[in-house]
A = this chain, B = another copy of it.
Amino acid sequence: MNFWFKEKNTDGYQVKWKISKILHNEKTPYQELAVVNTLEWGKALILDGALQVSEKDEFIYHEMIVHVPMFSHPAPRNVLIIGGGDGGTLRELCKHPELQKVDMVEIDERVVAASKKYLPSISSAFGDTRVNLYFQDGIEFVKKAGKYDLVIVDSSDPVGPAQQLFTREFYSNIYNCLNDDGMIVVQSESPVFYQEVFRSVYQNIKAVFPRTMVYLAYVPTYVSGPWSFTIGSKVYDPREYKGGSNAGFDLKYYNGKVHQAAFALPEFIQDMIQA
Protein backbone atom coordinates (compact mmCIF):
# COMPACT_ATOMS: atom_id res chain seq x y z
CA MET A 1 0.00 0.00 0.00
CA ASN A 2 0.94 3.58 -0.53
CA PHE A 3 1.00 5.48 2.80
CA TRP A 4 3.04 8.64 3.17
CA PHE A 5 3.89 11.10 5.92
CA LYS A 6 4.02 14.58 4.41
CA GLU A 7 6.00 17.11 6.39
CA LYS A 8 5.12 20.76 6.78
CA ASN A 9 8.05 22.62 5.24
CA THR A 10 7.90 25.93 3.41
CA ASP A 11 5.14 27.06 1.03
CA GLY A 12 7.07 25.89 -2.01
CA TYR A 13 8.94 22.79 -0.82
CA GLN A 14 7.71 19.51 0.60
CA VAL A 15 9.26 16.26 1.75
CA LYS A 16 7.41 12.96 2.09
CA TRP A 17 8.43 9.66 3.65
CA LYS A 18 6.71 6.41 2.85
CA ILE A 19 5.44 4.66 5.97
CA SER A 20 4.20 1.16 6.67
CA LYS A 21 2.61 1.68 10.09
CA ILE A 22 1.44 4.38 12.49
CA LEU A 23 2.65 2.92 15.76
CA HIS A 24 1.39 5.71 17.98
CA ASN A 25 -0.51 8.98 17.61
CA GLU A 26 -1.76 11.21 20.43
CA LYS A 27 -2.48 14.77 21.32
CA THR A 28 -0.46 15.58 24.45
CA PRO A 29 -1.11 18.71 26.54
CA TYR A 30 1.61 20.42 24.47
CA GLN A 31 1.66 19.03 20.94
CA GLU A 32 0.66 16.26 18.55
CA LEU A 33 2.98 13.27 18.88
CA ALA A 34 3.35 10.29 16.54
CA VAL A 35 5.71 7.37 16.02
CA VAL A 36 5.72 5.68 12.61
CA ASN A 37 7.53 2.90 10.80
CA THR A 38 9.12 4.34 7.67
CA LEU A 39 10.14 2.30 4.65
CA GLU A 40 13.77 3.47 4.57
CA TRP A 41 14.57 5.34 7.81
CA GLY A 42 13.51 2.94 10.51
CA LYS A 43 11.11 4.21 13.15
CA ALA A 44 10.59 7.97 13.33
CA LEU A 45 9.24 10.36 15.97
CA ILE A 46 7.05 13.20 14.70
CA LEU A 47 5.98 16.30 16.68
CA ASP A 48 3.40 18.76 15.33
CA GLY A 49 3.89 17.58 11.77
CA ALA A 50 7.70 17.74 11.74
CA LEU A 51 9.94 14.68 11.73
CA GLN A 52 12.22 14.95 14.79
CA VAL A 53 14.37 11.82 14.70
CA SER A 54 14.65 8.69 12.59
CA GLU A 55 16.47 5.60 13.78
CA LYS A 56 18.64 5.62 10.68
CA ASP A 57 20.20 9.07 10.90
CA GLU A 58 19.53 10.36 14.44
CA PHE A 59 23.18 9.73 15.36
CA ILE A 60 24.24 12.70 13.23
CA TYR A 61 22.23 15.39 14.99
CA HIS A 62 22.82 13.90 18.45
CA GLU A 63 26.57 13.41 18.08
CA MET A 64 26.97 16.91 16.72
CA ILE A 65 24.92 18.75 19.34
CA VAL A 66 26.80 16.96 22.15
CA HIS A 67 30.39 16.20 21.21
CA VAL A 68 31.28 19.54 19.63
CA PRO A 69 30.69 21.51 22.87
CA MET A 70 31.79 18.63 25.14
CA PHE A 71 35.12 18.28 23.33
CA SER A 72 35.79 22.01 23.26
CA HIS A 73 35.34 22.41 27.02
CA PRO A 74 38.36 21.03 28.92
CA ALA A 75 36.39 19.59 31.88
CA PRO A 76 32.60 19.52 31.47
CA ARG A 77 31.19 17.84 34.59
CA ASN A 78 27.70 19.28 35.09
CA VAL A 79 25.40 19.60 32.13
CA LEU A 80 21.79 20.74 31.65
CA ILE A 81 19.71 19.52 28.71
CA ILE A 82 16.57 21.46 27.88
CA GLY A 83 14.21 19.48 25.66
CA GLY A 84 15.60 16.39 23.97
CA GLY A 85 12.79 14.15 25.21
CA ASP A 86 13.65 11.32 22.79
CA GLY A 87 16.86 10.77 24.79
CA GLY A 88 19.37 10.80 21.92
CA THR A 89 21.26 13.80 23.26
CA LEU A 90 21.36 12.23 26.72
CA ARG A 91 22.72 8.98 25.28
CA GLU A 92 25.63 10.78 23.59
CA LEU A 93 26.31 12.90 26.67
CA CYS A 94 26.51 9.85 28.93
CA LYS A 95 29.36 8.47 26.83
CA HIS A 96 31.64 11.06 28.48
CA PRO A 97 33.30 9.51 31.53
CA GLU A 98 34.19 12.90 33.07
CA LEU A 99 30.50 13.79 33.27
CA GLN A 100 29.25 13.79 36.88
CA LYS A 101 25.69 15.12 36.70
CA VAL A 102 23.05 15.78 34.05
CA ASP A 103 19.84 17.63 34.70
CA MET A 104 17.36 17.15 31.91
CA VAL A 105 14.23 19.31 31.66
CA GLU A 106 11.58 18.20 29.21
CA ILE A 107 8.18 19.86 29.19
CA ASP A 108 6.31 16.92 27.69
CA GLU A 109 6.45 13.67 29.64
CA ARG A 110 4.71 11.88 26.77
CA VAL A 111 7.70 12.34 24.46
CA VAL A 112 9.95 10.49 26.90
CA ALA A 113 7.32 7.79 27.39
CA ALA A 114 6.88 7.26 23.64
CA SER A 115 10.62 7.14 23.06
CA LYS A 116 11.13 4.63 25.88
CA LYS A 117 8.44 2.43 24.41
CA TYR A 118 9.19 2.65 20.69
CA LEU A 119 12.77 3.89 20.31
CA PRO A 120 14.91 1.90 22.76
CA SER A 121 18.16 2.50 20.84
CA ILE A 122 17.64 6.26 21.26
CA SER A 123 16.24 6.34 24.81
CA SER A 124 18.88 4.01 26.23
CA ALA A 125 20.47 6.37 28.78
CA PHE A 126 17.49 7.41 30.92
CA GLY A 127 18.61 4.84 33.50
CA ASP A 128 22.10 6.33 33.88
CA THR A 129 22.65 7.13 37.58
CA ARG A 130 24.06 10.58 36.80
CA VAL A 131 20.74 11.72 35.28
CA ASN A 132 18.00 13.76 36.99
CA LEU A 133 14.93 14.08 34.81
CA TYR A 134 12.47 16.94 35.39
CA PHE A 135 9.16 17.28 33.57
CA GLN A 136 8.96 21.04 33.75
CA ASP A 137 9.03 24.13 31.60
CA GLY A 138 12.66 24.86 30.69
CA ILE A 139 11.90 28.60 30.62
CA GLU A 140 11.05 28.58 34.33
CA PHE A 141 13.73 26.04 35.27
CA VAL A 142 16.65 28.20 34.11
CA LYS A 143 15.45 31.20 36.13
CA LYS A 144 16.57 29.51 39.33
CA ALA A 145 18.97 26.76 38.23
CA GLY A 146 22.73 26.57 38.42
CA LYS A 147 25.66 26.04 38.02
CA TYR A 148 26.52 24.14 34.85
CA ASP A 149 29.51 23.82 32.56
CA LEU A 150 27.29 23.34 29.54
CA VAL A 151 23.62 23.90 28.72
CA ILE A 152 22.26 22.09 25.63
CA VAL A 153 19.03 23.42 24.15
CA ASP A 154 17.71 20.49 22.12
CA SER A 155 14.40 21.98 21.06
CA SER A 156 11.93 21.38 18.30
CA ASP A 157 11.14 24.16 15.80
CA PRO A 158 10.10 27.56 17.22
CA VAL A 159 6.38 26.89 17.00
CA GLY A 160 4.26 25.48 19.83
CA PRO A 161 5.99 24.80 23.15
CA ALA A 162 9.51 25.55 21.89
CA GLN A 163 8.86 29.15 20.87
CA GLN A 164 10.20 30.72 24.09
CA LEU A 165 13.44 28.74 23.75
CA PHE A 166 14.64 31.07 21.00
CA THR A 167 14.53 34.39 22.89
CA ARG A 168 17.26 36.65 24.20
CA GLU A 169 15.78 36.60 27.69
CA PHE A 170 16.00 32.82 27.80
CA TYR A 171 19.66 32.86 26.70
CA SER A 172 20.37 35.50 29.31
CA ASN A 173 18.91 33.31 32.06
CA ILE A 174 21.06 30.44 30.81
CA TYR A 175 24.13 32.69 30.94
CA ASN A 176 23.42 33.21 34.63
CA CYS A 177 23.23 29.51 35.42
CA LEU A 178 26.56 28.74 33.75
CA ASN A 179 29.93 28.59 35.47
CA ASP A 180 32.45 31.31 34.64
CA ASP A 181 33.88 29.24 31.80
CA GLY A 182 30.60 27.65 30.70
CA MET A 183 28.91 27.47 27.32
CA ILE A 184 25.53 27.04 25.69
CA VAL A 185 24.75 25.13 22.50
CA VAL A 186 21.43 25.29 20.68
CA GLN A 187 20.06 23.76 17.52
CA SER A 188 19.50 26.81 15.33
CA GLU A 189 17.55 25.47 12.34
CA SER A 190 18.35 25.55 8.61
CA PRO A 191 20.14 28.72 7.48
CA VAL A 192 18.67 28.16 4.00
CA PHE A 193 15.02 27.31 4.70
CA TYR A 194 14.54 29.20 7.98
CA GLN A 195 16.86 32.17 7.59
CA GLU A 196 15.06 34.46 10.00
CA VAL A 197 15.17 32.02 12.91
CA PHE A 198 18.80 31.20 12.23
CA ARG A 199 19.75 34.87 12.16
CA SER A 200 17.79 35.79 15.26
CA VAL A 201 19.24 32.93 17.34
CA TYR A 202 22.72 34.10 16.40
CA GLN A 203 21.96 37.74 17.23
CA ASN A 204 20.28 36.82 20.52
CA ILE A 205 23.14 34.62 21.72
CA LYS A 206 25.71 37.15 20.55
CA ALA A 207 23.97 39.83 22.62
CA VAL A 208 24.57 37.74 25.75
CA PHE A 209 27.81 35.76 25.27
CA PRO A 210 31.31 37.09 24.51
CA ARG A 211 32.01 34.40 21.88
CA THR A 212 29.33 33.21 19.47
CA MET A 213 30.03 30.61 16.79
CA VAL A 214 27.93 28.71 14.28
CA TYR A 215 28.69 25.18 13.11
CA LEU A 216 26.99 22.95 10.57
CA ALA A 217 26.10 19.31 9.96
CA TYR A 218 24.45 17.22 7.25
CA VAL A 219 21.17 15.82 8.62
CA PRO A 220 19.42 13.78 5.88
CA THR A 221 15.95 13.68 7.47
CA TYR A 222 15.83 17.45 7.99
CA VAL A 223 15.31 19.83 5.09
CA SER A 224 18.17 19.74 2.62
CA GLY A 225 21.28 21.89 2.86
CA PRO A 226 23.12 22.51 6.13
CA TRP A 227 21.57 22.21 9.59
CA SER A 228 23.02 24.70 12.06
CA PHE A 229 24.02 24.77 15.71
CA THR A 230 25.06 27.90 17.59
CA ILE A 231 27.41 28.04 20.58
CA GLY A 232 27.72 30.88 23.06
CA SER A 233 30.87 30.61 25.14
CA LYS A 234 32.13 32.60 28.10
CA VAL A 235 35.80 31.71 27.65
CA TYR A 236 36.76 28.79 25.42
CA ASP A 237 36.99 28.88 21.64
CA PRO A 238 34.66 26.07 20.53
CA ARG A 239 36.59 25.61 17.28
CA GLU A 240 39.45 24.14 19.31
CA TYR A 241 39.06 20.40 19.53
CA LYS A 242 40.32 19.14 22.90
CA GLY A 243 39.18 15.54 22.61
CA GLY A 244 42.40 13.68 21.90
CA SER A 245 41.64 10.51 19.99
CA ASN A 246 38.12 10.06 21.45
CA ALA A 247 38.92 6.38 21.03
CA GLY A 248 36.30 4.09 22.48
CA PHE A 249 33.40 6.44 21.88
CA ASP A 250 32.10 4.42 18.93
CA LEU A 251 30.85 7.40 16.95
CA LYS A 252 29.45 7.28 13.44
CA TYR A 253 29.65 10.93 12.37
CA TYR A 254 31.82 13.00 14.69
CA ASN A 255 35.61 13.02 14.86
CA GLY A 256 38.25 15.68 15.52
CA LYS A 257 38.49 16.73 11.87
CA VAL A 258 34.71 16.93 11.52
CA HIS A 259 34.65 19.10 14.68
CA GLN A 260 36.96 21.69 13.17
CA ALA A 261 35.49 21.47 9.66
CA ALA A 262 31.97 22.10 10.96
CA PHE A 263 32.95 25.71 11.79
CA ALA A 264 34.08 26.50 8.21
CA LEU A 265 31.03 28.41 7.01
CA PRO A 266 30.13 28.92 3.36
CA GLU A 267 30.43 32.57 2.37
CA PHE A 268 26.68 33.17 2.13
CA ILE A 269 26.12 31.88 5.66
CA GLN A 270 29.00 33.95 7.00
CA ASP A 271 27.41 36.97 5.32
CA MET A 272 24.05 36.23 6.96
CA ILE A 273 25.48 36.54 10.45
CA GLN A 274 27.85 39.42 9.75
CA ALA A 275 25.13 41.64 8.32
Contact = CB atoms under 8 A, between A and B. Distances in A.
Contacts of A162: none
Contacts of A265: 257-258
A224 B219 CA distance: 7
A218 B219 contact: no
A82 B254 CA distance: 35
Contact of A40 (B13, B224, B262): B13
Interface in A237-275: 251-255, 257-258, 260-268
Contacts of A18: 11-13
- How big is the A interface, by class? 35 or more
Interface of A: 4, 10-18, 38-41, 57, 60, 192-193, 216, 218-226, 251-255, 257-258, 260-268
Given A10-B40, A13-B17, 17 more contacts: A11-B39, A11-B40, A12-B18, A12-B39, A13-B15, A14-B15, A15-B224, A57-B225, A60-B266, A192-B220, A193-B220, A222-B224, A252-B267, A252-B268, A253-B268, A257-B264, A258-B267
